């Protein structure tokens, strides 16, 4: 099915990609790269999108199912069944024959640090952070020579802006009205109690009704029937804000919405990036891929979508229509419960010839979304450090599911410095949802969670060092006292100073002296203990 001329071209261009001269043209070039790098497995057996594909993915990305479970008689066993489980390599999966659909399905494409680096065409995610740092550190030129030196960076910035084109691969096949049938696509029902099938990797395009500025978000979409879906616009998301503003102007009206599925990887990831509301996600995608995203006008509304998308859904949301959505097995590891959300009416579906359906599974961590979140953490660290230079590093453990735990290392300079950083983070965009912030000294390795727990607990006087705050909470936090509002906790795990009221001596950490370590290193091979 995928041996078309376009697919062959994608495979051929991988050789050019490896030289780093161009970005991925589309999703299938990325697939070809994954396959060349040994990061992709094709599944030719028929597998059902209803639950079965999720279970296959779980056996790849969940550690207990990859040889990390209990042991009986020397074999790894599942924690639930105590049955032997063989280690399975964590790969991207291309299901060529999903049951009930003629369209192949790609999943777990971003499910490792290596695949995230391949997606963004870097050897290390810090390379992107360094590029951002380079632009953030640009200073106002003082003279002619400084202005000349600045020209290359300004020229590069200009090359990131999206580029409008007349046609795109995404419109090779167009279906409208009664010809639209969302069930043609292998849309997943991921977990047993899910309210239905859900589109889980969409780029949802809307416009601010007041300014006309584009927004792109990644919001799950429950399939109700052949031509309608839910639109899970959480209260604090930009899509929800567009909905509210438009409803204030005309409660009986509608707003246009378009959804792109399966673009080149940098563009596909743009919908989840925590960038400011007035910054175009497509421009930032251009920054990531080092060339502009080509955008094509939709068939039935005034929105533009990436021309290289595999599938595009065009339609509208009525401003006076809400419908029950959910439950949904979410990234928290629990089901998010039913709620009332807007309804998306699909008027047109366009797609490439022989399209590929890109999707993902969320659930008990770690899943594929953890590696996406890890990339966001590393990429946007320079932005946080630009605002707060005392921040040395930040870590969000997988088990913290993004909004439950952030560990921050700071170079402490004055009394109460840790508490200042807690409050600063609670004022930063999506970081405002962070339920627990732990602040440690700069010399703590915050990516070694054993060290973090050890040094945090040893530095902690609970009554003195824990503070609570009330504020916005992630909609998916089922433990909050009410939806969208609850408490947060900050833990000051830095060493305390006399100026903070701590008058006792602070003990030194136990470390062996360098001379002894060197001498034992020289003796090591003679000891016979290996």
The answer to whether residue 371 sits within a structural domain is no
**Residues contacting residue 46 through CB under 8 Å, at least 6 positions apart:** 97, 98, 99
List Cβ<8 Å contacts ≥24 apart for 17-24: 17/121, 20/121, 22/291, 23/121, 23/264, 23/266, 23/289, 23/290, 23/291, 24/121, 24/264, 24/265, 24/266, 24/289
- Please give the angle made by the CA atoms of 125, 396 and 407, to the nearest 5 degrees: 115
Give the model's confidence band at 410: pLDDT under 50 very low, under 70 low, under 90 confident, else very high: very high
DSSP symbols for 26-62: SHHHHHHHHHHTT-EEEE-S-B-TBTHHHHHHHHHH-
CATH number for the domain harbouring residue 437: 3.40.1670.10
Based on the fold, state whether residues 439 and 299 are members of the same structural domain.
no
Please state which of the ranges 202-216, 309-323, 407-421 shows the lowest mean pLDDT. Answer: 202-216
Asked if residue 97 belongs to a domain, the reply is yes
Contact 227, 345 (CB under 8 A): yes
DSSP 97: S
What tokens were used for 177?
């009205």
Catalytic residue among 26, 330, 393, 492: 330
d(CA 386, CA 430): 17
Q: Name 162's Cβ contacts closer than 8 Å, sequence gap at least 6.
A: 280, 282, 283, 286, 292, 293, 294, 295, 304
- Same domain, yes or no: 160 and 271: yes
Q: What pLDDT, on the 0 to 100 scale, is given for residue 485?
A: 92
- Considering the domain architecture, whether residues 162 and 107 belong to the same structural domain is answered as no
331: tokens are: 């990234």
Question: Mind listing the pLDDT tens digit for each residue in 270-300?
Answer: 888 877 767 789 998 998 888 999 999 999 9
Higher pLDDT, 82 or 89: 89
Query: Quick one: 160 and 246 in the same domain?
Result: yes
- What is the reported pLDDT for 84? 43
Q: Tell me, yes or no, whether 528 lies in a domain.
A: no
Considering 106, 123, 140, which residue would you say is the last residue of a domain?
Answer: 123
pTM for the full predicted model: 0.83
Does 382 reside within a domain?
A: no
Helix (H) or strand (E) run with residue 249 in it: helix 238-249
Region 143-157 average pLDDT? 50
**What torsion do the CA atoms of 114, 23, 274, 204 make, to the nearest 10 degrees?**
-110
Does the residue 530 lie in any domain? no
What per-residue confidence (pLDDT) applies to 137? 56
Same domain, 92 and 189: no
Report residue 314 as tokens.
Answer: 């065009």
Calculate helix-pair angle for 126-136, 144-158, nearest 10 degrees.
130
CATH of the domain at 239: 2.30.110.10
Could you tell me if residue 521 is left (phi over 0), alpha (psi between -120 and 50 degrees) or otherwise beta? alpha
Do residues 354 and 406 both lie within one domain?
A: no
pLDDT, tens digit, 9 for 90 and up, residues 19-28 = 444 679 999 9
Whole domain around residue 187: which residue ranges? 156-358
Greater model confidence, 188 or 208: 188
Identify the pLDDT of residue 182. Answer: 97
Residues 205 and 312 in one domain: yes
- 505 within a domain of the structure (yes/no): no
Please indicate, yes or no, if residue 145 is contained in any of the structural domains. no
Q: How many domains does the chain have?
A: 3
The span from the CA of 242 to the CA of 215, in Å, is: 9
Residue 477 annotated in active site: no
Show Cβ contacts of residue 54 under 8 Å, excluding neighbours closer than 6 positions: 188, 190, 191, 361, 363
Torsions phi, psi for 25 (to 5 deg): -75, -35
pLDDT band at 134 (very low <50, low <70, confident <90, very high): low
One domain, residues 77 and 160: no
Handedness of CA 164, 127, 200, 8 (dihedral sign): positive
Residue with tokens 């609670």: 426
- pLDDT of 474 reads 85
Element (H, E) at 483: none
Are 191 and 290 contained in the same domain? yes
CB-neighbour burial class of residue 417 (10 A; exposed 0-12, middle 13-18, buried 19+): middle
Residue spans of beta strands (DSSP E) within 303-428: 304-306, 311-325, 328-329, 335-336, 339-351, 357-358, 391-395, 405-410
Check residue 7 and give its pLDDT: 44
Domain end position, chosen among 107, 123, 139: 123
β-bridge partners, 127 = none
- Judgement on whether residues 336 and 215 belong to the same structural domain of the protein: yes
Q: Is residue 134 part of a domain?
A: no
Does 344 lie in the same domain as 429? Answer: no
Q: Is the pLDDT of residue 135 over 70?
A: no
User: Do 248 and 102 fall within a single domain?
Assistant: no
8-state DSSP, 435: S
């Amino acid at each position: 099915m995928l041996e078309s001329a376009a697919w062959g071209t994608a495979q051929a261009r991988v050789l050019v990609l490896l030289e780093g001269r161009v970005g991925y043209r589309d999703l299938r070039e990325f697939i070809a790269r994954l396959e060349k790098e040994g990061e992709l497995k094709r599944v030719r057996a028929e597998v059902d999108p209803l639950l079965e594909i999720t279970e296959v993915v779980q056996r790849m990305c969940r550690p207990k199912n990859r040889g990390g479970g209990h042991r009986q008689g020397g074999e790894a066993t599942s924690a639930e069944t105590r049955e032997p489980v063989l280690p399975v390599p964590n790969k991207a999966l291309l299901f060529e024959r999903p049951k009930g659909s003629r369209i192949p399905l790609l999943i777990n494409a971003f499910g490792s640090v290596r695949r995230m680096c391949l997606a963004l065409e870097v050897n290390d995610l810090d390379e992107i952070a360094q590029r951002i740092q380079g632009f953030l550190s640009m200073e106002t030129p003082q003279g002619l020579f400084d202005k000349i030196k600045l020209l290359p960076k300004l020229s590069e910035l200009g090359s990131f802006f999206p580029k409008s084109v007349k046609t795109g691969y995404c419109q090779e096949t167009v279906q409208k009205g009664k010809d639209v049938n969302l069930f043609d696509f292998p849309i997943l029902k991921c977990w047993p109690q899910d309210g239905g099938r859900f589109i889980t990797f969409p780029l949802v395009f809307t416009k601010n009704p007041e300014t006309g500025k584009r927004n792109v978000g990644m919001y799950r979409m429950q399939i109700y029937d052949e031509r309608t879906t839910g639109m899970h616009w959480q209260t604090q998301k930009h899509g929800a804000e567009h909905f509210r503003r438009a409803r204030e102007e005309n409660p009986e009206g509608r707003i246009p919405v378009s959804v792109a599925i399966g673009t080149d990887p940098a563009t596909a990831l743009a919908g989840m990036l925590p960038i400011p509301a007035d910054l175009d996600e497509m421009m930032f995608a251009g920054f990531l891929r080092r060339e502009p995203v080509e955008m094509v006008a939709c068939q039935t509304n005034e929105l533009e979508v990436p021309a290289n998308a595999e599938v595009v859904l065009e339609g509208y949301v009525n401003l006076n229509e809400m419908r029950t959505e959910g439950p949904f097995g979410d990234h928290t590891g629990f089901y998010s419960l039913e709620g009332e959300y807007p309804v998306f009416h699909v008027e047109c579906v366009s797609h490439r010839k022989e399209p590929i359906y890109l999707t993902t599974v969320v659930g008990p961590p770690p899943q594929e979304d953890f590696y996406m979140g890890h990339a966001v953490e590393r990429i946007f660290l320079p932005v946080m450090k630009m605002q707060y230079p005392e921040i040395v590093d930040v870590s969000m453990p997988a088990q913290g599911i993004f909004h439950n735990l952030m560990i921050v290392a700071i170079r402490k300079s004055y009394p109460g410095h840790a508490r200042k950083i807690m409050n600063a983070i609670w004022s930063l965009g999506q970081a405002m949802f962070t339920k627990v912030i732990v602040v440690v000294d700069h010399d703590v390795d915050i990516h070694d969670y054993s060290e973090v727990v050890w040094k945090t607990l040893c530095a902690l006087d609970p009554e003195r060092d824990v503070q609570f705050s009330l504020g916005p909470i992630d909609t998916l936090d089922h433990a909050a006292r009410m939806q969208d509002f609850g408490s947060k906790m900050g833990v000051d795990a830095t060493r305390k100073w006399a100026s903070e009221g701590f008058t006792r001596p602070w003990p030194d950490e136990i470390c062996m002296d360098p001379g002894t370590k060197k001498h034992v290193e020289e003796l090591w091979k003679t000891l016979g203990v290996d």
